[in-house]
Amino acid sequence: MKPLTFLLLLFFLAGCYRPGGGGTVHNPPDGIVSNHPTDLAVAFSVWGAGSGRLDRRYTDVVCQYQINDSELHRLPGTVENASESAMRMKFVIPPLDLKEGDKVIYDSSSF
C-alpha cells in the first residue's frame, strides 16, 4: 500500500470514529404531597457521537411511576430547553390521592 493511501485511510477512519458519552442529572423532590401535582426535572448531556439538537434526536422520553405495587403509569415530558449537547425536560406527576404509608416510585432510568 502506498504511504499516501495509508495516510488517507487513517485520516478517514479517525474521522468516522467518534466515541460518545453523556449523563443525566435529576434532583428528587423533597416529597410528594397528596392531591397536589409533583414536578420532576431531568437534564441530559451528550458529547461525541451523533449530531443535531437533542429534542429532535430523543423524541419519546417518558417517566414511569407507580403507587406501591400498582400498575405502571407513563408520563410524557416537556422539553424546557435543548441544544446539540444538552436538554432539560420536565415531567409532572398528577395529583394523587395518597394514604399514609403509600409509596410513590418513579423510574428515573427511563427518562
More confident residue, 59 or 79: 79
pLDDT of 79 over the 90 cut = yes
Q: Is residue 110 very low, low, confident or very high in pLDDT (cuts 50, 70, 90)?
A: very low
Q: What is the rounded CA–CA span in Å between residue 107 and residue 57?
A: 21
Q: What is the mean pLDDT of the chain?
A: 82
Q: pLDDT tens-digit profile of 86-99?
A: 999 999 999 999 99
What contacts 11, CB < 8 A, 6 or more positions away? none
pLDDT confidence of residue 24: 84
SS (H, E, C) the chain: CCHHHHHHHHHHHHHHCCCCEEEEECCCCCCCCCCCCEEEEEEEEEECCCCCCHHHHCCCCEEEEEECCCCCEEEECEEEEECCCEEEEEEEECCCCCCCCCCEEEEHHHC
More confident residue, 6 or 39: 39
Is 56 a residue whose pLDDT tops 50?
yes
- Which residue has better confidence, 93 or 26? 93
